[in-house]
Amino acid sequence: MKKVIYTAAAILCLGLAFLTGYWLRSPDSTRTGNPSTTSPIPAASVDPSTMAPGTVEMRPEKQQLLGVRTDVVGKSSETATLRVLGLVAADETRIYRINSAVDCWIRKTYSKTTGSVVQKGEVLASFYSPEFLSTEQAYIFALSSFDRFHSSGRESPQQIELTGITIQQYKDTLSNLGMSDIQIEEIGRTRAYTENIQIRSPATGFILYRNLSTGERIEKGKELYRIADLRRVWILADLFENEAKYVKPGALVKVTLPGRQEVFHAKVTNVLPQFDPSTRTLKVRLEADNPGYVLRPDMFVDVDLPVTFPPAVTVPADAVLDAGIRKTVFVDLGNGLFEPREVETGWRFANRVEIVKGLEPGERIVVSGNFLIDSESRMELAAAGMSGTLEKDPVCGAVVSVKKALKEGKASVHQGKTYYFSSSECKEKFDRDPDRYAAKPVEGND
């Protein structure tokens, strides 16, 4: 009994296998192996002369086997994030340079060195210069005269006013020589001159540069300190020209330190990007608050720039086959037919490419498996070329089907030779000056 059951089961399996094979091989099957294509129609119903050179016919089961996927072309505005490397720099408007206004000798220096944080008005060093003594004495004498005039009451208002102007002149002279306002006010209060002129910090910040030591003779004009207020910093990001034009002033940008959790928010300034000849890029300036002085000059940071592209026809980057001087996509014509279409591309960002010319919204193109379709398309072109059914457009350089060009009236005869064209525009250019295009070799793509 068991042998009979096993024999019946084997016969049933063989029958199912035979029916499945017949169904797969049947040209009239109504199954849809690839949901993105329509059901095929008999090839005989398609006029070969209406198809572009290199058009490939592929059955649904083969498309499924090769992993062919298609998608509809659309027009939309793309928004993406561009991650670039940024370099932290001190804000030029917050950098303070302390230069020596006179020839002097350094009497004393304090412990503040390069990298130290200093407060506004903090004493950094002191020096001696004989140029201060005469001005200090004249300043003290003018102050004493002013006090005497007020107490006596005999001097005229004009004389008192002139004395006040003289005092201000001496104060300005001391300030221009390098004396701080704090020390000038102290002399005015104590009426005692000093030989040690203090160098004080003009702002709260970091010492970026120090160039003096105790006992050193300093010449007039030498830079002694450079101090930067790092509560707000610049970030310089390098962008290629095709990227920089999409970054708008005022855009908010996220800045992160590699390997750390701190996140900062910067703003793109309205300063025009500067071209860097060494890197051949444009430097875009960002401004960011720097709480805790975490961002230091010459640090590298990651910058996430929001980029918004205007509405355009875009396709996945993998859909475009780039042969260098020629870019091709395969358009799904339906019924298992795929037409190679030369396109002109614009910007490329992330995984999207702008199509400037060659495609219209609503057309369906191949987005996966196009390399395999392209190989079959090339074989079709090679076979058609050997049979003499293909020519090259002498103006545009494109491969042209002779039958299609004749059917659409895109052919011209010049000096006994027939030329075929891929478009009416190319034919019009040839007809206006046939000797120009007939004489030179055709520059096209294979």
Residue 6 has pLDDT above 70, yes or no: no
Distance of alpha carbon 258 from alpha carbon 254, whole angstroms: 13
Distance of alpha carbon 378 from alpha carbon 376, whole angstroms: 5
Please spell the DSSP secondary structure of 69-80, one letter per residue.
EEEE-EEE--EE
Per-residue pLDDT of 69-93, as tens digits, reads 999 998 888 777 888 999 999 999 9
Phi and psi, residue 282, nearest 5°: -105, 135
> What pLDDT score was predicted for residue 436?
82
Range picked from 18-22, 26-30, 145-149, 346-350 for highest mean pLDDT: 145-149
Distance of alpha carbon 179 from alpha carbon 101, whole angstroms: 10
Distance of alpha carbon 206 from alpha carbon 293, whole angstroms: 9
Position with higher pLDDT, 65 vs 39: 65
Residue 408 has pLDDT above 80, yes or no: no
Residue 96 near residue 205, CB atoms below 8 Å: yes
Phi and psi, residue 222, nearest 5°: -75, 140
| Paired tokens of 414 | 């010049």
| Paired tokens of 397 | 């350089």
Q: Could you tell me the pTM of the whole model?
A: 0.60
Residue 30 has pLDDT above 50, yes or no: no
Position with higher pLDDT, 12 vs 89: 89
> What pLDDT score was predicted for residue 25?
41
Q: Please enumerate in sequence order all residues whose Cβ is within 8 A of that of 193, keeping only pairs 6 or more positions apart, or say none.
A: 132, 133, 136, 137, 140, 187
Position with higher pLDDT, 4 vs 392: 392
Distance of alpha carbon 125 from alpha carbon 114, whole angstroms: 14
Residue 20 has pLDDT above 50, yes or no: no
Residue 144 has pLDDT above 70, yes or no: yes
Kindly report the length of the chain: 446
Nearest CA among 56, 69, 53, 34 for reference residue 315: 69
pLDDT tier for residue 114 given thresholds of 50, 70 and 90: very high
Residue 149 has pLDDT above 50, yes or no: yes
> What pLDDT score was predicted for residue 227?
96
pLDDT tier for residue 381 given thresholds of 50, 70 and 90: low
Q: Please enumerate in sequence order all residues whose Cβ is within 8 A of that of 419, keeping only pairs 6 or more positions apart, or say none.
A: 391, 393, 394, 411, 412, 413, 430, 434, 437, 438
DSSP state of 263: E
Q: Which residue type is seen at 139?
A: Y
What number of other Cβ atoms are within 10 A of residue 108's Cβ?
15
Residue 52 has pLDDT above 80, yes or no: no
Nearest CA among 8, 173, 187, 207 for reference residue 95: 207
Nearest CA among 437, 420, 418 for reference residue 429: 437
> What pLDDT score was predicted for residue 47?
54
Distance of alpha carbon 88 from alpha carbon 257, whole angstroms: 11
Mean pLDDT of 226-239: 93
Mean pLDDT of 348-372: 86
Distance of alpha carbon 196 from alpha carbon 63, whole angstroms: 90
pLDDT tier for residue 383 given thresholds of 50, 70 and 90: low
pLDDT tier for residue 150 given thresholds of 50, 70 and 90: confident
Mean pLDDT of 102-118: 93
Map residue 442 onto helix, strand or coil: coil
> What pLDDT score was predicted for residue 43?
42
pLDDT tier for residue 34 given thresholds of 50, 70 and 90: very low
Per-residue pLDDT of 175-208, as tens digits, reads 999 999 999 999 999 999 899 999 999 999 999 9
> What pLDDT score was predicted for residue 26?
43
Helix %, strand %, coil % for the chain, to 5?
30, 35, 35
Mean pLDDT of the chain: 81
Position with higher pLDDT, 41 vs 184: 184
Mean pLDDT of 297-325: 87
> What pLDDT score was predicted for residue 120?
93
